[in-house]
Structure 1
Amino acid sequence: MARGRIIRGVVLAGAGLSTLLVAACGSGDSGAGSSSGSGGGGGAKVAFLMPDTGSTRYELHDRPGFEKRLKELCPSCQPLYNNADGSADKQQQQFNSALAQGAKVIVLDPVDSAAAASLVNAAHSKGVKVIAYDRPIPDIKVDFYVSFDNEKIGNAIATSLLEKIKQDPVPSGSGLLVVNGSPTDAAAGLIKKGVHSAVDSSGIPILAEYDTIEWKPENAQKFVSGQISRFGDKIIGVVAANDGTAGGSIAAFKAAGVNPNPPVSGNDATVAGLQLIIAGDQYNTISKPSEIVGGAAAEVAVKLLNDESPETTGDLFGSPSKLYDPTLVTAENLKAEIVDKQITPASELCTSEYAAACQKLGIS
């Protein structure tokens, strides 16, 4: 998924970071350093450990955003990147490898938020700083947490969906399906909390709810298929926690011959999710360009390397945090928020299958 994003000059962790002395960044491990930057080899190593390849965002957006900003702020620093492919055991091996290679800061997006507490303890015992990224680590205090505000995301997608549903009379006995994210992901728990903050007081009942193992769309599809058999047309909406679970939910309705399917929420503004919105199958998503949080994590890492305190928006689970506000996207503002802001180009969204629908929305 090659995107033509243009996100320049993002400075999210406090003013003046770009003037940090390179020498301060390059005072870390003297082993295999980077040859780039004004200081040459010997730069401090900063690990960036992502959880899975199920979402293309980590390779295409988070990693480039992090590495670009790290190089800008600390040319002699050396990034160490790894992806755990959804395995907590593999992530533990990668974390231990980063420690063995002399990483001074580790940015960790945990596969299993509870299991990650032991990783943080291992790092702290060696004097290594840990930045929790995207997914928090609730059971232990980390040195910093960087993310979009996941609780706000849950509230926003559910509130938007409910407003859509309530445009028409709600039939007696009807209700929602709630398709949450992975039960091992603390960020999914925050999204779930935000969803319930909107749904529980809405007057519209939840017919069934499911925590999607490993965030896999096929697991969401199996759950929704079972509920279609159980509830049929009593299902008037699906609050799905991300675009993958939304896509699985929509596939279940299509397989059951339900056309049109009821409104379905999403999150992440993936190309697939945006195309489903363009086609009218998915109702909303959340735009949160992950280059932003990737760059912010690099800025926090450099601050920690220099024994400085990063700017916060408060504490979460006892850890200093910087949370960014999400942007809700529906068909009404997709062009303005996604295409016009050059987050995803029209050429990538409006392939032949979606060309006519794009024209109806004024996207070209």
Structure 2
Amino acid sequence: MITNGIDVLILDAVDTKAVRHSVVQAQRAHVPVIAYDRLAEGPISGYVSFDGGSVGRLQGEALLGALGPKARSSQIVMMNGSSTDPNAGWFERGARSVLQGRVKIAKSYETVGWRPENANRNMSAAIAALGPHGIDGVLAANDGLASGVITALKAARIHPIPPVTGQDAEVAGLQRILAGEQYMTVYKPFKPEAYTAAEMAIAVGHGHSLNGVATQRVSNSTSRDIPAVLLEPVAVTVHNIKSTVIKDRLYRVDQICTKRYADDCRKAGLIDRDGSPHDAE
């Protein structure tokens, strides 16, 4: 792309270290790079994402709320993301800032590749180590990991399922929340993030400063004071699905409330007795 004469590169890096060479090449070709969602390594011109610390704090606060007064005598498992993703460490630090000293973190795992099957194996190991009655909650870093965690809890016949967090507001995650299998997820509205990335790209593409767009600064291992926009995420539970992801038209009611989850959706006020949807206006 660089050799084809592009003016700006918006980069959502899966492995932020692996793309460093490409970012350096872009700089040498006078192509500014906007890091999207993950802070890539190298000379980045701007960065837009959701505040990862806030994501972790929302998860930690929700888990403590679900545990209630028993939190201090409870023990939990942390199912963190991949060590190759800087966002994973950001989420974890945010969560620990809330959890530390208020609940016992009995086990903590890094989940290779953010893969649900790896979370499932880690959770099975935690159950074997702590016992089926030794886990009061699980801080899962996203909905995919939550699915692997919940599958392991079900396989161990742990009932009721302890509160499990998530992130990304996936349809499957929302359905698990409605069914009472997952406690919450973190919703990151994609439009503000995408629009901000476009605004930053247009500015740097025209040679303008990002001072009018970015009010924050971040650093990676090679660059300091990178102009950044860090958006605020939203916690979603069974009580506010309608006023968040439905209202924002991320999903329609019928996409979430399939036949399998019809009864759960009625209880949550998403559909009528006859199955008619209660889409937010």
TM-score (norm. length: structure 1): 0.70
Q: Where do 5+ consecutive residues of structure 1 fail to align? A: 1-97
Aligned residue in 2 for 1:66: none
- Structure 1 counterpart SS, 2:2: helix
Aligned residue in 2 for 1:122: 25
User: Which of 140, 162, 166 lines up with 1:262 in the alignment?
Assistant: 162
- 2:208, 2:153 → 1: CA distance? 52
1:153 matches 2:52: no
1:334 matches 2:241: yes
1:61-140 pair list within 5 angstroms: 98-137=1-40, 139-140=41-42
- 2:177, 2:110 → 1: CA distance? 23
Give the aligned length.
Answer: 263
Kept in 1, the 8 Å contact 2:60–2:139? The answer is yes
Amino acid at match of 1:349: I
Aligned residue in 1 for 2:138: 238
Aligned residue in 1 for 2:88: 188
1:321 matches 2:228: yes
Amino acid at match of 2:151: A
- 2:101, 2:46 → 1: CA distance? 33
Aligned residue in 2 for 1:210: 109
Amino acid at match of 1:215: W
How far the C-alpha of 1:170 sits from its partner, in A, is 4.6
Aligned residue in 1 for 2:148: 248
How far the C-alpha of 1:166 sits from its partner, in A, is 2.0
1:293 matches 2:196: no
Deviations 1:155-177 (A, max 9, x none): 1111111111124x3585x4110
Amino acid at match of 2:245: I
Aligned residue in 1 for 2:75: 175
How far the C-alpha of 1:234 sits from its partner, in A, is 1.1
Deviations 1:144-195 (A, max 9, x none): 001111111011111111111124x3585x4110011111011111111111
**Paired-residue identity, %:** 38
- Structure 2 counterpart SS, 1:184: coil
- 2:108, 2:98 → 1: CA distance? 15
1:218-229 pair list within 5 angstroms: 218-229=117-128
- 1:182, 1:171 → 2: CA distance? 28
Amino acid at match of 2:99: V
Amino acid at match of 1:275: Q
- 2:156, 2:53 → 1: CA distance? 32
How far the C-alpha of 1:220 sits from its partner, in A, is 0.5
The structure 1 segments of at least 4 consecutive aligned residues displaced by more than 6 Å after TM superposition are none
User: Which of 312, 324, 328 lines up with 2:214 in the alignment?
Assistant: 312
- 2:230, 2:245 → 1: CA distance? 21
Residues 321 and 171 from structure 1, CA distance in 2 versus in 1: closer, same or farther, beyond 3 angstroms?
A: closer
- 1:298, 1:171 → 2: CA distance? 45
TM-score (norm. length: structure 2): 0.90
Kept in 1, the 8 Å contact 2:27–2:43? The answer is no
How far the C-alpha of 1:215 sits from its partner, in A, is 0.6
Deviations 1:22-53 (A, max 9, x none): xxxxxxxxxxxxxxxxxxxxxxxxxxxxxxxx
Amino acid at match of 1:270: E
- 2:22, 2:196 → 1: CA distance? 22
Deviations 1:213-250 (A, max 9, x none): 11111110110011112112111000011110011111
Alpha-carbon RMSD: 1.4
- 2:246, 2:52 → 1: CA distance? 24
Amino acid at match of 2:263: A
Aligned residue in 2 for 1:353: 260
Kept in 1, the 8 Å contact 2:24–2:43? The answer is no
Kept in 1, the 8 Å contact 2:146–2:166? The answer is yes
Deviations 1:278-318 (A, max 9, x none): 11111111111223312221121111111112311310112
Kept in 1, the 8 Å contact 2:79–2:108? The answer is yes
Aligned residue in 2 for 1:198: 98
- 1:163, 1:224 → 2: CA distance? 22
Aligned residue in 1 for 2:45: 143
- Structure 2 counterpart SS, 1:103: coil
- Structure 2 counterpart SS, 1:281: coil
Amino acid at match of 2:261: Y
